[in-house]
Structure 1
Amino acid sequence: MSTAVLLIDLQHDFLSPDGAYGRAGLGNADLAALPARVAPVLDAARAAAVPIVSAQFTIVARRGRPPQIAEHLHALRPFLGPGDFEPGRRGHDLVDALAPADVVVEKVAFSAFHQSRLEWVLQGLGADHLLVAGIVTNGGVASTVRDAHVRGLATTLLADGCAAFDREAHDATLRSLRGVTRLSTCAGAIGELAAGA
């Protein structure tokens, strides 16, 4: 198997205090701890020449019109507005502790595969196994892992490399995903990367 690391939505607008979610008062200690926990995994991946792909939630800006936000998302997160999750702005970027990724893929839905170039990128990398970390466990992470499974890609989900806005939702999602992914930890991934797995 050829491995790539896949990061889901670990962006300033989700995680930084001055990002869109931080300004709205949304976040928790589990989410805030992720960059420091995931960074050593990326260090090990870089040392092993394993590519890092960052799938980043994107809101499409439209000149002279409001940004293009899915109706259900706008209803759930009415605070999102112009400039939030917009490519070229800091909020859209991968958080500093994890940057840079080798490839950035814009995502517009929960799954990083939906209407994106992720599958094409992974084919180009020759990757058939993904080490997955990101947010939120019960949203973008779960949807992406399930879509990878449908596409015949093996995945290892880093249980402590993911988080949600609700710990119970995180734990329940990990239990529900056992049929489609292998669960591991950041420490386990570092060991496997160092061993050339």
Structure 2
Amino acid sequence: MKRILVIGASGGIGAALCSVAGGEVVGLSRSGDGLDVTDPASVERVLGSVEGPFDVIWIAVGILSAGQGPEKSLSQIDAQEMADVMAVNSIGVALVMRHVPRLLASGGRVGGLSARVGSIGDNGLGGWHAYRASKAAVNQIIRGASIELKRTHKGSVVLALHPGTVETEFTAGYKASKLSPEESATKLTAVLEGATPDQTGQFYDYAGKAIPW
């Protein structure tokens, strides 16, 4: 039976990824397991206690802001706010990634949730500086991980994935058309499962369309 690890399992998308996984699922979260990705000791304790290998690993942690909401102008940039967002969305994912080589099966797949607004090439609106920067950074982390895992885990696939605008607490108050968490999770799973090893290290949306870096 396929084994799936979902990190960030208590969030809207993470919980949905658990529900659509179709195998033996291990879900880890801050609320359920005390996993604080901003605390290296917590990451070591929680992930260090997990036994692999897993055929699929999802990294579904992230925050939109640390309190003030996304910046609408340069004048709203706050050093602590930016540091807090980077601590979860970028450094936290990097700390989790340290454990992936040990936990991933040969030929396994890793899906790291990113966001379209992390694309530098696709940024035509500006604003949201901390969140955009954190997602651009996590894209680089995922890309770097894919290169290393390509060497050590033959046939592996590691993707940065944009889940779409999903109906969760994360997007409460935003009027954009939204996917349900289950719709997003199902589509993301199809993209990750359908990708070939030569696509590893790339950035796709939930519909399987490539997003520019």
Task: Please tell me the TM-score bracket, short chain as reference.
Answer: 0.3 to 0.5
If asked which structure has higher relative contact order (CA below 8 Å, sep 6+), I would say: 1
> Would you tell me which structure has more helix in proportion to its own residues?
2
Structure 2 length-normalised TM: 0.42
